[in-house]
Structure formats: structure tokens, C-alpha cells
Amino acid sequence: MTAIDATHTAYMPSSHADPTAFVRRADGLCELDLMVSGASCAACIARIETGLREDERVENARLNLSTGRLALTWRGEAEAARELINKLGAIGYPATPYEPEADSDPQMVEEKRLLRAMAVAGFAMANVMLLSVAVWSGVGEMSAAMESLMHRISALIVLPAAAYAGQPFFRSAWQALKHRHVNMDVPISLAVFLACGLSVYETFIGHGDTYYDAAVMLLFFLLIGRFLDMRLRAKASQAARGLAAMQAASANRVLPDGRIEAIPAREVVAGDHLLLAAGDRVPVDARVVEGEGELDGSLVTGETAPVAATPGARLFSGMLNLDAKLVVEAIADRDNSLLSEITRLVEAGEQSRSRYVRLADRAAKLYVPIVHSLAALTLVGWLLILGEPRPAIINAIAVLIITCPCALALAVPAVQVVASGRLYRDGVLVKSGDALERMANIDTIVFDKTGTLTEGRPRLVDAGEISSEALDLAARLARTSRHPLSRAVADAAGMGETADRVTETPGGGLQGQVDGVSVRFGSARWLGLESGADPHSEAWLWVDGQEPVRFRFEDQLRAEARRTVKAFKQRGCRVILLSGDRKIPVDHIAGQLGIELAFSELKPQDKIAKLQDMKADGLKVCMVGDGINDAPALAAADVSISMASAAEISQAASDFVLQGDRLDKAVTAAIVSRGAKSRVMENFGLAVVYNMIAVPLAVGGFVTPLIAAIAMSASSILVTLNALRLAR
């Protein structure tokens, strides 16, 4: 673990529920979701999953770092849950059963703790620095008694402040040592303890050379880096929560005697008959038994066109019933329905991203052994040279402080904050802390079609070829309907009158009377006509005694779609189109944009499979999408982008959100991300040069802990100023 991926403070819910009550049975296996505290990096994932799999009963252990949620599967009895939770605690990661209904958010709790700790450290640093300036400026003039009083006041301010503000580091270091490993919080905690301990000794017994300001200054700068990084990662777990919220909480079960019984959706089992009223969400995967209607099927296909529901048709959980009353038969329970599967796919994608080893992680791997070795050698060397413990301890503390990873802790977050601010001004919202780093490495860009490359709403494309009389007749019917194609006709015709006695046939069309003449407007199948063979959507106007008139609709390309695709190609990126739509319109759009590789009629699992194939080939993939069905693919890609008008679930699963629905802002995100990576590398270079100069001076005894703290702060300011160059 690193200073940047600091171990989270252990979070334990107030209720210690019996874990066996949360165990699920499936295919002879026990399943349990746990909330794990203290996991913060890829090394934590490996330690947890490997530790659990040492138990022969465990079939699978998968930790999602963003949410802190662990999916655990084992053979045997449910009571084994207690043993497995105890094992997690034994390796340093307390866990409790996952309760979706719980109101508290561990991420937010920890964020508030860091803010309070930072405020306390900043307050103490400001006040102690004032006292220190008074002591420095009064050398030779201030009496020994007054100087001693200043040091005692400093002790009263710093000791409780350091004890509180240092808790994120102290707890993490203690957990690491208790379980026989070290992390970067160990040398930080050691430096603070030694600086405070030596200062107390000097205040009451020794020569009066104290280093209280060094201790709180160190904590303040480290807390800034930790908070910045956590703040940028705070929204990483929203996708799965949003999907869970889309699941229907209740269902109306039809009893054998015809009565309707309201039950929790989690109690629905395969074979139950359920009643769906207009506006209800489908609680589980089901099959239509009675009734005909239309549902919002964007969850499965991503397309705006409603899905016809007729007896025998299969429905998926999360679909929205738009009009008619339906009776359906459940074919799965809630945990085995499509929306639950999409949730699991999103979490699996987030977990794979959690394994991404960031530059700061790699740069910091050697930090702990090198710093401990240097400090120990400094202590031993000066003891051998002088034979006195005091100067040896002071020099060892100086080494610990001057090498403390403030510059390293700020190198990445400072750049992320500046780059995120610049992108925000340019209309791009950055939602993930390491998204910029991943975006800088992409070589493949994958687009969804509907709502991403296109505007996501059909338009009448042949209005000029249709007579004004036919357009008016169709519009009179269309103004009474909410169907996307009807709205397109109404928009093309403008405001006007409506037909009389209009009825709407779900999945068919509209029928009414205009001046006593029967007029129908709907699908070719409903009217008994033959469909056209081009890539357009269509509807037909049928009037008694007249030739049917075909209306063609097309989802228009975004104005900036062509230049966006061209810009990515110019930057050496491979461009691919993945869509749930039919092959003809998908190939048509791909041809217009010059995209050579396009796949159609893909479900969420199919999109993920395509992305996994690309990643297996060594490609670094960025996914751009907007539909609910795109959320798993967005989470599974190396980095993802969604539109501001996208479904909330897609936005939550994305790393970037394009404000104002300007697709070309995706190119801006790529350009700024590459610039951010360059600044991070420069910051690491500055940190290396700083340590090459400062460490030999500290080892040689030329630096006191106070000067070490000032030098450490100067290095932090330097990397921050370098990051600010990115704002231009």
C-alpha cells in the first residue's frame, strides 16, 4: 500500500448482525456479500482474496475495491460465514454483512474524518508556527523562562492535535505491524512519534530544541494528498447502487383465487403470476401470459423504440410498462434476473479497474525498505561516531521527515485536481481519481450508437416527399400519442388539431376519425403492408380509399460525430462501433463515419465479451456510451465516457461525463489526460532530484528535523506549482 492509496479507517456498522442470516443458497453453494474495511489498493485485493482461498471450502472470493464489497462463495454450511469473517479480521480487514438498505456510507464517513483531521492539523500548524517565529526572532533576547513557556504552549497545542490528526496513519500502521507487514504509514507514524517524543524530552529535560512544528506540518501536507485522492474516487461506487435502486421494491402477485397480493420483490419465485399496471417496473425476468402493450426496453437494447409485449413475449427486470395492464409469469427470482446480472457485471468491471497499478503505486514500492534502512543506518552510524544517542536520534528523525512522501503523495492528486478543473471548464466532468492516467494510455475507442454517435431520438427524414395533407392527417393522430415516432411526426408538423375518437393499439398504431373519415397510422405489420428494406425506421398512414403513405425516420448523427471519430483516428486510435440495434442501421451509421469495424444486435453481456477480447489482445480500450444497457460495458472498459443526457446508471459507471452533450469533448479529455501524465512524470522526477540532494545532507547531520520539515514542505509546493502549469 502507498501513501496515495492509504488504508481506509476501519468502518464497522453499529449493528453486528449474525452473518448466517445473510447467506444465500445457489446450486449447492453458499453465497454472502460482505462490506470490508481497510482495503485500499491492488495489494489489499490480493491479500484478501488469496487469504480466503487458502480455505479449501472457498470457491470464489472477489473484492470490489471501489465499493468495499466482497462477494464470497463456499461449499458447506452457512455457519462457515462466521469463520471466514473472523479470518478476514485476522489478516487485518474487518468485515460485516452487506446491507443494501443501510443509510451510512463508509466512503463519506472516512472523507469527513480526513477533513476534520486536516482542519485540526492546519490549525495546530498555524499557531505553532507563530510561536516558533517568536522563538527564532527572539534568539539572544528572549529569556530562557519565556522560551520554555513557548515550548510548553506548543506542546499543549501539538500533542493532542497530532494524536487526533494522525489517526488515519497510526491506525493503518498499527494494523500493518500487527499482521506482520509494513506499509507507507509506518515510517510516517514513526517520524511523528519520534519528533513529538524528542520535542517533549527537549522541552522538559534537554536543551530546549523542539520540533513540534515539523510534526504537524508533516501531517497537514500528507492529509491534503490523502484527501484529494479520496475525493476524486468518492463516486466510484454509485453505479451498482443506482442499478439496485432501479429494481422494483414490490410486486403484485396474482393468487389462484384471483385476488391480488402485494409482496416484496425479493419474495417472487419462478412460476408466480404477477400483475403489471401501466408505469410499473418489471420486478423479475418474466413471460407475458395475458394482455398486450409496450415497454421501455432500453435496458436491454439501448434503443429508444418501445418493445412490444404480447402473450409469450419475454420481459426483463427493470423494464418499464408504458401503457396496458399485463399479467406475467416469473421465470426467475430477483437475484437471478437481468438487472441483478447487470449489477454484477458493473461491479466486476469496477473490480478489474481496482487492480490497475497506478504510477504512484509503482514509484512508491521501494519507499518503505529504503527509508527504514536509511534511518536505521543513520542512527547506528552516528551512535558509532559520537557515542551519544541524542544527535543520532535527531539525525534519524531528520531522515524520516525529509524523505516523507509528501511530494509523492501530492504528485498525482495535485495534477488530477488541476487537470479535472481544466476539463470542468471545458465541459468534461472527471469522476474517477486515476481516470486521467488510464485515459492517457488508450489506443482503442469504442462507441455505442444510439444517443452517443446519434442524437437518440428519431426524426422524420422524408417530410419534403410527403404531401402536406398526408402529414397533417398523420399529425392529428400522432399528437395524441407519446410513442417516439408519433412525437417525431408531431414535431415535424407543428401545433395543430387532433383527430376524433383516437384509439391506440399497443405495438400496432393509432386509429381515429378526421372529418368522418377513418384514418390509421402505425406499423406495416398492423396495417397488413410490406415493410421497406432500407435502414430507416418507418410508419404508414392508411386512409380509406387512398394509397398508403410511408413515413421514414432516422436517428440523426450528432453534428460533431464525424470530426470526433476523425480526431481519434488522427491520434492513432482504433475506432469500433458496438450497438444493440439492427445490423442495417448500424452498418449505415458506421459507413457514414468511416468506422471499419461495427457490431450489431449486442446485449450487455455481448458488449463485455467484445471488450474483454480487445483487452486480451493487449488493447487499451475507452468505451463511450449512454444507455442503461451500456453500464456494464462502461465499467468493464479500461476507461469510460458517458454523455450528460445519459442514463444516471451510465454516468455513475463512467470515468468522464461530457457536459452539454458535446461528443468532441471526448477528444479534449484524451488530450488533457496525456498532458496530465507528463506532469505526473515530471513531478516524480522533481521528487527524485529533491531526495538525491536532501537525503545525503540529512544522513550527514547537516539538517535538523525543523529544516527537514521545511524542505519537505518546499518539495510539496514545488510539485503543486508544476501541476498548476496544466491549467493553462
Question: Tell me: the pLDDT tens digits for 135-151?
Answer: 766 655 677 788 888 88
> Could you tell me whether strands 444-447 and 574-578 are parallel, antiparallel, or unpaired per DSSP bridges?
parallel
Q: Residue 9 domain-assigned?
A: no
pLDDT of residue 650 exceeding 70? no
pLDDT in tens, 387-442: 888 788 878 877 777 766 555 656 676 777 778 778 877 888 777 667 888 899 89
| Three-state DSSP state, 189 | helix
CATH number at 474 reads: 3.40.1110.10
Q: Residue 694 domain-assigned?
A: no
pLDDT in tens, 510-526: 999 988 889 999 888 78
- pLDDT tier, 99 (very low <50, low <70, confident <90, very high otherwise): low
Q: Determine which of 386-395, 444-453, 459-468 has the lowest per-residue pLDDT on average.
A: 386-395
Among candidate residues 33, 213, 448, 655, the one labeled active-site is 448
pLDDT of residue 372 exceeding 80? no
- H helices of 138-166, in order, are 144-165
pLDDT in tens, 656-680: 888 777 888 999 999 998 888 888 8
> Could you tell me whether strands 509-514 and 500-505 are parallel, antiparallel, or unpaired per DSSP bridges?
antiparallel
Could you please report the per-residue DSSP string of 83-131?
HHHHHHHHTT--EEE--TT----HHHHHHHHHHHHHHHHHHHHHHHHHH
Contacts for 675-678 with beta carbons within 8 Å, 24 or more apart?
Answer: 675/419, 675/726, 676/415, 676/416, 676/418, 676/419, 676/436, 676/437, 676/440, 676/726, 677/359, 677/436, 677/437, 677/440, 677/441
Same domain, 170 and 271: no
pLDDT in tens, 16-40: 456 787 787 777 788 888 888 777 6
Same domain, 598 and 463: no
Q: What is the pLDDT of residue 123?
A: 92
Q: What is the pLDDT of residue 162?
A: 93
Same domain, 623 and 634: yes
Rounded CA-CA distance 41/605 in Å is 27
CATH number at 296 reads: 2.70.150.10
* DSSP element (H, E) containing 358: none
Q: Which three cell numbers stand for residue 525?
A: 405489420
Given 518, 535, 557, which residue is the final one in a domain? 557
Q: Residue 240 domain-assigned?
A: no
- pLDDT tier, 6 (very low <50, low <70, confident <90, very high otherwise): very low
pLDDT of residue 652 exceeding 80? no
Q: Which amino acid is at 226?
A: R
Same domain, 623 and 717: no
Name the DSSP class of 3. Answer: S
Give yes or no: 448 in active site.
yes
Given 41, 68, 98, which residue is the final one in a domain? 98
* DSSP element (H, E) containing 293: strand 293-296
Rounded CA-CA distance 98/438 in Å is 30
Rounded CA-CA distance 19/30 in Å is 12
The larger pLDDT score, comparing residue 636 to residue 184, is at: 636
CATH number at 68 reads: 3.30.70.100
Q: Residue 683 domain-assigned?
A: no
Q: Residue 680 domain-assigned?
A: no
The larger pLDDT score, comparing residue 253 to residue 534, is at: 253
pLDDT of residue 65 exceeding 50? yes
Highest mean pLDDT among 4-8, 314-318, 375-379 belongs to 375-379
| Three-state DSSP state, 50 | helix
Measured in degrees and rounded to the nearest 5, phi and psi for residue 54 equal -65, -25
Q: Which amino acid is at 336?
A: N
Query: Residue 499: is it exposed, middle or buried by C-beta count within 10 angstroms (0-12/13-18/19+)?
Result: buried
Region 234-240: mean pLDDT is: 45
Nearest to 658, CA basis, from 445, 495, 426, 432: 426
Same domain, 473 and 580: no
Rounded CA-CA distance 425/594 in Å is 31
Same domain, 434 and 506: no
Contact 606, 319 (CB under 8 A): no
Q: Residue 482 domain-assigned?
A: yes
Q: Which amino acid is at 672?
A: V
As a whole-number percent, the residues of the chain with pLDDT over 70 amount to 79
Contact 640, 634 (CB under 8 A): yes
Q: What is the pLDDT of residue 352?
A: 47
Same domain, 566 and 653: yes
Rounded CA-CA distance 325/58 in Å is 45
Q: Count other Cβ atoms within 10 Å, centred on residue 358.
A: 20
pLDDT in tens, 329-344: 998 877 666 666 555 5
Given 98, 129, 154, which residue is the final one in a domain? 98
Q: What is the pLDDT of residue 237?
A: 45
Instruction: Give me the helix-helix angle, 42-53 and 80-90, nearest 10°.
Output: 140
Q: Residue 423 domain-assigned?
A: yes
Same domain, 405 and 427: no
Rounded CA-CA distance 633/480 in Å is 37
* DSSP element (H, E) containing 408: helix 406-425
- Please report, to the nearest 10 degrees, the dihedral formed by the alpha carbons of residues 358, 362, 365, 370 taken in order: -130
CATH number at 588 reads: 3.40.50.1000
Q: What is the pLDDT of residue 512?
A: 92
Same domain, 256 and 299: yes
For the chain, what is the radius of gyration of the CA atoms? 32
Q: Determine which of 221-235, 466-480, 665-679 has the lowest per-residue pLDDT on average.
A: 221-235
Name the DSSP class of 462. Answer: -
Q: What is the pLDDT of residue 682?
A: 84
Q: What is the pLDDT of residue 501?
A: 87
| Residue owning grid cell 557515542 | 387
Same domain, 447 and 565: yes
The larger pLDDT score, comparing residue 479 to residue 299, is at: 479
pLDDT of residue 103 exceeding 50? no
Q: What is the pLDDT of residue 588?
A: 86
Highest mean pLDDT among 37-46, 85-94, 122-131 belongs to 122-131
| Three-state DSSP state, 254 | strand
Same domain, 272 and 387: no
Q: What is the number of structural domains in the chain?
A: 5
Rounded to two decimals, what is the model's pTM?
0.58
Q: Residue 13 domain-assigned?
A: no
Same domain, 140 and 217: yes
- pLDDT tier, 106 (very low <50, low <70, confident <90, very high otherwise): low
Nearest to 440, CA basis, from 595, 597, 573, 351: 573
Rounded CA-CA distance 577/555 in Å is 16
Q: Which three cell numbers stand for residue 136?
A: 527564532
For 236-271, b/e burial (b = at least 16 CB within 10 A) is bbbbbebbeebbbeebbbbeeeeeeeeeebeebeee
HSE-up of residue 578 (Cα within 13 Å, Cβ side) = 27
SS (HEC) of 364-390: HCCHHHHHHHHHHHHHHHHHHHHCCHH
Rounded CA-CA distance 648/298 in Å is 13
Rounded CA-CA distance 64/33 in Å is 11
Q: Where are the beta strands (DSSP E) in 125-264?
A: 250-254, 260-264
Boundaries of domain holding 590:
414-455+558-675
